[in-house]
């Protein structure tokens, strides 16, 4: 049961009591019901499959209240629908890999987190936790800003009852697989999988930071037991691997080309996804998907001229026109030592002029010819006499010293391509964000570079 476990924080894997009819091992796993589950969910599902096959009782918590408290990533009105959607997807995933579900059960956070007793515990814990510690505890999952919403500070307190005297549990951490999170479980067609894999970082010979190789290790081998590559005989011919170490060794020695590795993953992943896709072809599940994750472009007023829906009050990231840009030139602002003037190609007839306050954080050399992300539908604004026609998006990392770094587009991106926030891939952006409604200011506190 310790297979594919990245770390055991408490140092002890399991208590020493025996499993049997009188005392079965109980396992708990939780996930916040925010955006649609993606293919990296196969990593924890493969571990849950191990526990179920070993006879453990597994409870999956749908942390719907957490999803709401985390800057309302799940609106209150959609909490129940998203729980239903997650349950159907997870059942379909486990069924697709042949796992028995008789010892699997589900529970919602709001089933018990709104009770009198639980609420009292939350208040007791709030009297023991400082604002600093609450921010620090939520740093991994909650958007960190200078003036956080109170909901984000409550978030970590909902899951640390040992401070109140409750017994600690043994904790297992599954490995993280980067790079494939954009491919949605029930809606990724084969062409979508191909596009996502094409953009995934997979440097020749790199076995340390390689999401595609990690997916082979943590998903395909545990679930399928082998991995096949098809290629021209002059490049080594077809080959089937029965252990990951051989795949890793040959990739590290550049005997396996990244394109061949990705093609093999594409075939294997589509085999895993096919049963899930077929299940979600039913009218009932299509309706559930559409209501749990409504298309913002179909809001009231859509289709009446220039996006009436975009002019409404709903704050959704799809209203932001975020595009990939390439920095063609960068120089100091003639009238401000802290500002750069950049010419950036965003796929239009002429490059845009952008003014950014990055002199103290990023060198001119680091910006030159770099691919960046731009917010392109802000109202143009003069900065020390020069009109800035977009905003260069950066991540801010608080500390001493403070760090500010431009966001990197997905690998393989081209200037002009639109970039979406996960879970909000549909919907047209506003032509221009109304500065009086402060749409960007309200949305940006919810954005986090994960």
pLDDT at position 75 is 87
Measure the CA–CA gap between 320 and 9, rounded to whole angstroms.
39
CATH superfamily membership of 190-271: Tyrosyl-Transfer RNA Synthetase (1.10.240.10)
pLDDT digits (tens, 9 = 90+) for 409-418: 988 888 999 9
Measure the CA–CA gap between 406 and 374, rounded to whole angstroms.
10
Give 17's pLDDT tier (boundaries 50, 70, 90): very low
pLDDT at position 201 is 82
Q: Which residue has the higher pLDDT, 388 or 146?
A: 388
Q: Which tokens hold the place of 433?
A: 């964000």
User: Would you say 258 and 203 are in contact if contact means Cβ atoms under 8 Å apart?
Assistant: yes
pLDDT digits (tens, 9 = 90+) for 172-194: 777 767 666 555 555 556 777 88
Give 386's pLDDT tier (boundaries 50, 70, 90): very high
* Helix, strand, coil tally for the chain in percent (to 5): 35, 15, 45
Residue 241 has pLDDT above 90, yes or no: yes
Q: How far is CA 186 from the centre of its chain?
A: 16
CATH superfamily membership of 321-420: Nucleic acid-binding proteins (2.40.50.140)
Measure the CA–CA gap between 48 and 1, rounded to whole angstroms.
10
For the domain 26-164, what is the CATH code?
3.40.50.620
Give 300's pLDDT tier (boundaries 50, 70, 90): very low
Mean pLDDT of the residues in the chain: 84
Residue 304 has pLDDT above 50, yes or no: no
Give 441's pLDDT tier (boundaries 50, 70, 90): confident
How is the chain split into domains, by residue range? 26-164, 190-271, 321-420
């Amino acid at each position: 049961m310790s297979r594919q476990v990245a770390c055991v924080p408490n140092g002890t894997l399991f208590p020493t009591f025996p499993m049997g009819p009188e005392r079965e091992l109980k396992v708990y796993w939780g996930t916040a019901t925010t955006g649609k589950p993606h293919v990296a969910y196969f990593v924890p599902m493969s571990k849950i499959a191990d526990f179920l096959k070993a006879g453990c009782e597994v409870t999956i918590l749908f942390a719907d209240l957490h999803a709401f408290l985390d800057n309302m990533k799940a609106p209150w009105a959609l909490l129940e629908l998203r729980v239903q959607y997650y349950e159907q997807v997870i059942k379909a995933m486990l069924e697709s890999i042949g796992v028995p579900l008789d010892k699997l059960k589900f529970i919602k956070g709001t089933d018990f987190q709104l009770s009198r007793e639980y609420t009292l515990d939350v208040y007791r814990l709030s009297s023991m936790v400082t604002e600093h510690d609450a921010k620090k505890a939520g740093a991994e999952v909650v958007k960190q800003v200078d003036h956080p919403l109170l909901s984000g500070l409550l978030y970590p307190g909902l899951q640390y009852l040992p401070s109140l005297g409750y017994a600690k549990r043994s904790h297992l951490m599954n490995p993280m697989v980067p790079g494939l999170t954009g491919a949605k479980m029930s809606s990724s067609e084969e062409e979508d999988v191909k596009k996502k894999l094409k953009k995934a970082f997979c440097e020749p010979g790199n076995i340390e930071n390689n999401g595609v190789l990690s997916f082979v290790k943590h998903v395909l081998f545990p679930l399928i037991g082998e991995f096949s590559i098809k290629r021209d005989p002059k490049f080594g011919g077809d080959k089937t691997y029965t252990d990951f170490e051989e795949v890793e060794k040959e990739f590290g020695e550049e005997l396996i080309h990244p394109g061949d590795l990705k093609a093999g993953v594409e075939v294997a992943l589509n085999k895993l996804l096919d049963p899930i896709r077929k299940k979600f072809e039913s009218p009932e599940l299509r309706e559930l998907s559409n209501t749990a994750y409504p298309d913002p472009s179909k809001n009231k007023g859509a289709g009446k001229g220039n996006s009436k829906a975009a002019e409404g009050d709903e704050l959704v990231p799809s209203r932001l026109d975020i595009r990939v840009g390439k920095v063609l030139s960068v120089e100091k602002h003639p009238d401000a030592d802290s500002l750069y003037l950049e010419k950036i190609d965003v796929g239009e007839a002429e490059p845009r002029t952008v003014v950014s306050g990055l002199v103290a954080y990023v060198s001119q050399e680091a910006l030159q010819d770099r691919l960046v992300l731009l917010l392109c539908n802000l109202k143009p604004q003069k900065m020390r006499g020069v009109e800035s026609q977009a905003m260069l998006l950066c991540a801010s990392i608080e500390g001493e010293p403070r760090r500010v770094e431009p966001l990197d587009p997905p690998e393989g991106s081209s200037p002009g391509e639109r970039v979406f926030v996960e879970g909000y891939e549909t919907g047209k952006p506003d032509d221009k964000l109304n500065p009086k409604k402060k749409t960007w200011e309200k949305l940006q506190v919810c954005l986090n570079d994960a």
